[in-house]
Each structure stands twice: as structure tokens, then as C-alpha cells.
Amino acid sequence: MAIARRRLQCLLNRVCRESSRSFGALPQGNNPSSSQELINLEYEFSAHNYHPVPVVFSRARGSSIWDPEGNKYLDFLAAYSAVNQGHCHPKIMRALQEQAERLTLSSRAFYNEKFPIFAEHLTSMFGYDMVLPMNTGAEGVETALKVARKWGYEKKKIPKDEAIIVSCCGCFHGRTLGVISMSCDNEATRGFGPSLPGHLKVDFGDKTALETIFKEKGDRIAGFLFEPIQGEAGVVIPPDGYLRAVRDLCSKYNILMIADEIQTGLARTGKMLACDWEKVRPDVVILGKALGGGVIPVSAVLADKDAMLCIRPGEHGSTFGGNPLASAVAIASLDVIKDEGLAERSAQLGNELRHQLLEAQQKFPEYIKEVRGRGLFNAVEFNSKNLSPVSAFDICLKLKERGVLAKPTHNTIVRLTPPLSISLDELQEGSKALHEVLELDLPKMLKGKPEKVNPTVPSTCDRCGRSLYSSN
């Protein structure tokens, strides 16, 4: 017995030695620590699937971020609305630490003490029978699509393999294969075909077009997937009454209304869900991002039993979905949103921010084409003719130099979506920085940049033929 144990130990030692050799130990005392070194390291060793603004996050609290050199920035992106509660919120961090010391993972092969509490908490907060927990947003969307297809076959009696999902032109729901099959983003779709069958597109905000599709193909349509406000498209708000019309049409044609509230939900737009703006209850709601309090990926699909119980053991799931660590963090994240009145805060501060941005528009009408948003979900769209050859990305680089971190979407739009815990003064600082960029930096940039050599390509969506960039 002792000999066998010694042999096993020798074997383990050898494996450890060999694996550390083959993976290459990090050189001692040579850890890169400056922003530039870290950016270079990432460029060298990570896939180039992002085009980040060149700033390295080292530490963050609330709406403030510090880089390794100690420079402070204000966060006007909030990790695409995953940090609605503010960075490292003490209550969420406490929940994380306490749970991390007890239990982190059971897998759903067993039960754990936290997931049932989270499930009850979330469903009662939003008024749905059941939740299916996942991790990332895209997984949440995939889950909702599977629920819809299954419901379509079992309850609506759609013939086998003929279920259709309708989604909107300009939508963004993530980057898995199923999801990009309905994407209007050439960068996300080109070179990744063939796309999944069973999808149809409709113009966002057009209830007549939606009814036409429902009338023609309604007996095969299982679900209508949409963002109540399109985020990645540039905070595109549908006409008043659209959400109500979607609800009525989905009920009329027995189609599941599936709201992707991954970005718009959890107080971002000034309501707990963006669908609340029209007091509409979707059949299926997808949540993500801020559900994990900016700490851990947590997504969830909410639905009633009629749809949710179409999914049976073994048909869908995820090893980490519903894990106790994520569940504890999600409970705390929801409590912070509720206890701190973040929806009301977002509504009020959003009005203030838009007021400040509209003042900027009045001062620079040649540059700012439109200011739009709900709550703290806002965008400034620039007039591309006057901005060119400067891009929205260039504007974000200048904002960064002035201590404000924002991210462009497309060529001409800058999203302004700070943590909902941001203070009025910080909000003002953000607007002031934009003002200064337009007043002081932009004229120099326009002079300094050569005339555009590469015309913006492509200008239309491969998927639906829609124009991707505004024409002026």
C-alpha cells in the first residue's frame, strides 16, 4: 500500500514538473504592471476579438475607476449595463465573500441552499412562475429560443422542425451561432455561416410590418424576440405604443412575446423592466448583466409554467447555471437595486443628463444630430458628414483623456450609460468633458486628420439589407 502511494506521488510530481515546463513559468520579478505593458501583453496573447479604448482598469468603486498608474476615470459605460449597482458594491461584495467561504458550486446534479432562494426571490420580484438560470446573456437568449421552440411544438402544435422565431432588424442578442443567425451585424456574422434556419426579420418599431408577418406565417411562429430599446444599435427607442401593440399582436396570434431585457432591464431605463414603460407583461423575459452585480455572470429566463414546463430534465442546462455563488450575488444585486431605488434614481438622473446633453446639442448643432435615451440609457448621435473623418471612437479617446470612459457604437454614436449609483456632480463632469471635447478637441482633430481614404464599408446589413450607418 505504502509503495503504491509512493509510486503515485512520484508520478504526480513528474506530471507537475512537466506541465510547468510545457506551459512555461512566468519569469520571476518581471511582472508587467504599466498600462502600456499590459495592453501589449494582451495584444500578444489574447485573440483580437475586441477593439478596446486603451485604458487598463486596476481598481474601481462606484462610478470611479483607477488605472495602474493611479489615474482616475469616471465610468460612463458600466460594462454595458452590467454594473448598474456601481463597481464593487459593498453589499454585493459581502454576499460574494460570505458565500465563497461556504460553497461555490454544486452543479444542478444536486441541490444547493442558495439557488431555490434566488429562484423564489427573482420570480416574485418580476411576477413570473419560474426561472431557468444560466450564466451569460447569450446563453439566456439561446435558452429563451429553445423554450419558445419547444412550446411551439408541444403547445401550439407547430409541425416538426418548422418553428420560426421573428426578430428585429438592428437587433443585438449576443454572439453564439444561434443568436448571430438573426443578427444584423456584418462583423458578427460574416465568415460564420451557415446560419440557423427558422428565423424571420421585421423592422423594429413597425407594428404594421409585424402584423403582416404574423398574418402570413403566424401558425409557424413560436416567438417574437426583441429588445424594448435597442442598445447596441445605438439606444433606439421604438414609437410610443409599440410595446403595447407587440403584446396585443402576440396574444392575438398565440406567439410568445420574448423581451430581451439583458441590457434594458434591472432599472437601467428608469423602470425595473423597459417593458414597464408601457405596462406590458411579456411571456418570456431574459435578464443578465446587472443580475450578477458586475461581479459574476448570471443570466435568467423568466416565464410561466405553460412555457417553462415544456423543458424537461436533460433537455437544457449549464454546469454553472444556478450555482450558489452566483445565486447569492444575484440576490444581493437585486436587493441593492430595490433598496437603493435605482430605477427611480435612473429616471431622475437620466432626465438631468439629457438636459445637459441637449444643451450641448444646442451649442454644437453642426456636430450633434440627436440626443436620446430613457433613464440612464442614453446615446449621442453625431452628424457623420460634419464629424467625418473623425469617428465616435476618436471622440471616446478624447473623452478618456479628459477622464471619462465611454464606448462608441457604430461610427457615429456614443453611448452614455453610467452606473445608476452615479452622483449628480459626476454626471455633470461627464457632460462637461463631452462639451470640452466638442469645443476644444474636435476642431483640432478635424484639422489634423486626413480626408477619409477608406469609405465606410459595409453600408447595408447582409442579413436584412437595412442601412447600417446613418447617411448624414
Ligand X SMILES: Cc1ncc(COP(=O)(O)O)c(C=O)c1O
Give the integer Cα–Cα distance in Å for 289 and 264: 10
Work out the number of other CB atoms within 10 angstroms of the CB of residue 153: 17
Candidate residues 134, 148, 262, 360; the one interacting with ligand X per rule CB under 6 A = 262
Nearer to ligand X, 112 or 264 (CB): 264
Active site residue 289: yes
Give the integer Cα–Cα distance in Å for 148 and 155: 10
Specify whether the CB–CB gap between 351 and 377 falls below 8 A: no
Candidate residues 141, 287, 420, 468; the one interacting with ligand X per rule CB under 6 A = 141
DSSP for 270-299 reads SSSSGGGGGT---SEEEE-GGGGTTTS--E
Which of the stretches 61-69, 104-112, 237-245, 256-264 binds ligand X when contact is defined by CB under 6 A? Answer: 256-264
Torsions phi, psi of 354, nearest 5? -65, -35
Binding pattern to ligand X, positions 66-105, x when CB under 6 A?
--------------x-------------------------
Give the integer Cα–Cα distance in Å for 11 and 2: 14
Alpha helix (H) residue ranges in 320-462: 324-339, 342-363, 384-387, 392-401, 424-436, 442-448
Question: How far does CA 420 lie from the centroid of its chain?
Answer: 15
Which of the stretches 208-216, 260-268, 405-413, 436-444 binds ligand X when contact is defined by CB under 6 A? Answer: 260-268
Indicate left, alpha or beta for 359 from its phi (over 0: left) and psi (-120 to 50: alpha). Answer: alpha
Active site residue 204: no
Candidate residues 75, 142, 227, 441; the one interacting with ligand X per rule CB under 6 A = 227
Nearer to ligand X, 296 or 438 (CB): 296
CB of 259: closest distance to ligand X in angstroms? 10
CB of 173: closest distance to ligand X in angstroms? 4
Which of the stretches 124-132, 172-180, 335-343, 408-416 binds ligand X when contact is defined by CB under 6 A? Answer: 172-180
Nearer to ligand X, 230 or 327 (CB): 230
CB of 380: closest distance to ligand X in angstroms? 18
Candidate residues 62, 174, 282, 375; the one interacting with ligand X per rule CB under 6 A = 174
Cell 482616475, located at residue = 72
Active site residue 45: no
Q: Nearest to residue 306, comparing CAs of 417, 173, 456, 147?
A: 147
Candidate residues 75, 142, 185, 260; the one interacting with ligand X per rule CB under 6 A = 260
Burial of 168 (0-12, 13-18, 19+ CB in 10 A): buried
Give the integer Cα–Cα distance in Å for 400 and 45: 25
Cell 428608469, located at residue = 270
Residue 330 within binding range of ligand X, rule CB under 6 A: no
Give the integer Cα–Cα distance in Å for 16 and 1: 23
Residue 172 within binding range of ligand X, rule CB under 6 A: yes
Nearer to ligand X, 63 or 136 (CB): 136
Structure letter (DSSP) for residue 450: P
Residue 381 within binding range of ligand X, rule CB under 6 A: no
Q: Nearest to residue 139, comparing CAs of 184, 104, 173, 183?
A: 173
Candidate residues 152, 228, 282, 288; the one interacting with ligand X per rule CB under 6 A = 288
Q: How many residues bind ligand X (CB under 6 A)?
A: 15
Specify whether the CB–CB gap between 346 and 269 falls below 8 A: yes
Residue 183 within binding range of ligand X, rule CB under 6 A: no
CB of 225: closest distance to ligand X in angstroms? 10
Candidate residues 228, 231, 270, 294; the one interacting with ligand X per rule CB under 6 A = 231
Residue 173 within binding range of ligand X, rule CB under 6 A: yes
Which of the stretches 114-122, 169-177, 375-383, 403-411 binds ligand X when contact is defined by CB under 6 A? Answer: 169-177
Binding pattern to ligand X, positions 5-44, x when CB under 6 A?
----------------------------------------
Active site residues: 172, 260, 289
Residue ranges binding ligand X (CB under 6 A): 80, 136-138, 141, 172-174, 227, 231-232, 260, 262-263, 288
